[in-house]
Structure 1
Amino acid sequence: MKILHIDSSIMGDASVSRQLSANIVKQLQQKYGAEAEIQHLDLAVQHIPHLSSQILMGQDAEQSALGEQLLQQYLDADVVVVGAAMYNFGLPSTLKAWIDRISVAGRTFKYTEQGAVGLAGEKKVYIASSRGGVYGDDSPVDYQEGLLKTVFNFTGVTDVEIIRAEGVNMGAEIKQQAMTAAQAQIQAI
């Protein structure tokens, strides 16, 4: 059982999404035991340059090699755990840079006469979502969870579960309630 654990928050130990993603991985380790093989990708540490024409056209050998490594990690994973904090209604830009490296025509999706078809295979994705405010499921200003679900669905991964802690900057009591609810979801994995 290959588990790809991705963190994207810049907040280090103070990060709620990192706490949630780590707890999800611990739960998966308990569930799968010795079968669990974890790869951790910390996007606050691992520099992935934003997409450029040189990178897209394969004119930078170093970046092509990095892109292939990131893509293969994603393709090889049975489970993907993404720690995603909401920054200004969206994703950390480092997470978007990773998305640009795994969204590769002919590898994770292809176009047909009927439209796009995902190629990434059967995976489970857990999104550990954290938000300072409260936005809910159908917020018109949520460009975080919706984008992540769209990307994973586009690559053929439809089993996506969101574990959310929101309102974490609205006071200690609200944060504790959010963390307790998220932890209950994690325990159910």
Structure 2
Amino acid sequence: MQILKIDSSTSGPASVSRELTEAAVEHFRAKHPEARVVYRDLAVAPLPHMDEVATGALRAPPEMQTDDMKAAVPAEREVFDEFTSSDIVVIGAPMYNFSVPSQLKAWLDRLAIPGLSFSYSEAGPQGLAGGRRVIVVSAQGGMYEAGDPAEHQESMLKVFFALIGIPDIEIIRADKTGFGPEMREAAIAEAKAEIAKL
């Protein structure tokens, strides 16, 4: 079994999502002591935003790739292969300005590969990267109800993972963390209680 842990917060030790991704991984390691944990810290070692070379390395057929694209294939595919080799994926996704951190978006962009993670048909897109459990640890300084027009974080992640074949991601949310120390600690404690039920 492989567990993939993704952190994207730039808040360092003060990060709520980092505290909760660690709690989630420890929870699953206790249940699966044989599991291998693969860790990617997107704030410490960010992936570059997509460009022509990265896009071609992931999406262009070999005969259409430039030398630069061919050279980039191993590094670009590593992200996708890491994901598809994992049984459980724990993603720290704090809300930054109503969406996810840009470094997390750069990681997601490397998972959406036509022909590998999804395909199109007359019936619409078909996800091809299912078969793994995805837990999103969501941290929000405010409070956003489902359908809030200002919320483009959890809703985007739900749509994205449904596209690639994982329609039922699990979201553990710590919200109102900006409402003061007491509310922050209460939100973390509540989220950890939800993690214990996974």
Q: TM-score, normalised by structure 2?
A: 0.91
How much does 1:53 deviate?
2.1
Count matched residues.
188
| Deviation of 1:169 (Å) | 1.1
The corresponding residue for 2:124 is: 115
Q: Is the 8 A contact 1:123 1:159 kept in 2?
A: no
Letter in 1 for 2:50: L
With over 3 angstroms needed to count, the CA separation of the structure-2 counterparts of 1:159 and 1:123, relative to structure 1, is farther
Match of 1:23 in 2: 23
Structure of greater Rg: 2
Contact conserved, 1:67 with 1:102, CA < 8 A, in 2? no
Counterpart CA distance in 2 for 1:176 and 1:31 is: 26
Alignment match of 1:82 (pick from 91, 94, 102): 91
Work out which of the residue numbers 165, 169, 178 in structure 2 matches 1:169: 178
Corresponding residue number in structure 2 for 1:184: 193
Q: Give distance in 2, aligned partners of 1:131 and 1:102.
A: 24
Native 8 Å contact 1:70 1:101 kept in 2: yes
**1:105-130 deviation line (CA, Å, top 9, x unaligned):** 01100111211000002111110000
RMSD: 1.2
The aligned counterpart of 1:11 is: 11
Inter-CA distance 187–118: structure 2 relative to 1 (3 Å threshold): same
Equivalent position of 1:40 in the other structure = 39
CA contact (8 A) 1:3 1:80 kept: yes
1:64 CA drift (Å): 2.6
- Counterpart Cα distance in 1 of 2:86 and 2:196: 22
TM-superposed CA distance for 1:60, in Å, is: 3.3
Give the CA deviation at 1:138.
2.7
Matches within 5 A, 1:17-166: 17-34=17-34, 36-58=35-57, 59-166=68-175
- Structure 1: 4+ residue segments shifted above 6 A: none
Gapped regions of structure 2 (runs ≥ 5): 58-67
Residue identity in the other structure for 2:32: Y
**What residue ranges of structure 1 are gaps of 5+ in the alignment?**
none
SS at match of 1:68: helix
Supply the AA of the counterpart residue of 1:141.
A
Aligned-pair distance for 1:172?
Answer: 1.2
DSSP 3-state at the match of 1:60: helix
Paired residues of 1:102 and 1:108 also in contact (CA < 8 A):
yes
1:133–1:62 CA distance, 2 compared to 1 (3 A) = farther
Q: Deviations over 1:28-52 (max 9, x none)?
A: 0011122x11100100122311111
Structure 2 distance, partners of 1:151, 1:143, is 12
